[in-house]
Amino acid sequence: MARKKSLWSELQRERERRARAARAQERANQQLVRQMVQDAERAERRAERADAAERRRQEQLAQEAGAAAAKEMKAQLDAPGAGTEDFADLGPSDSAAAAVRRVETVCSSGAV
């Protein structure tokens, strides 16, 4: 009779050992999955930051290009006689309507 109890006890211990091993394996698997998810999230955030930095860089370049173009236009407008020869005969006493008619004439003649 003692032998049956001993065999039974050994079977119980083996079941418990296997159950512990299965729980440990499950914990390890869950940890691995958590780590993979965290790594994927980090990679996604890193990519989003890189995209945002690239957008900021492109916006900065566009802003600098616009500023350079505006500076060039201002330099052209500030140059002596730049585009004013068509309007040299307009004086301060001329009406705004006369100035508009002159602009329309110059634009329609293809001079601009």
Query: Does 47 share its domain with 91?
Result: no
Residues 53 and 28 in one domain: yes
Q: Residue for token digits 């301060």?
A: 92
CA distances from 31 to 11, 25, 50, 70 (A): 30, 10, 28, 58
Instruction: Please tell me whether residues 67 and 109 are part of one structural domain.
Output: no
Give the mean pLDDT of the chain.
84
Question: Domain residues for 91?
Answer: 84-112
pTM over 0.75: no
86's enclosing H/E stretch is: none
* Range of weakest confidence among 44-48, 76-80, 85-89: 85-89
* Mean pLDDT computed over 76-86: 67
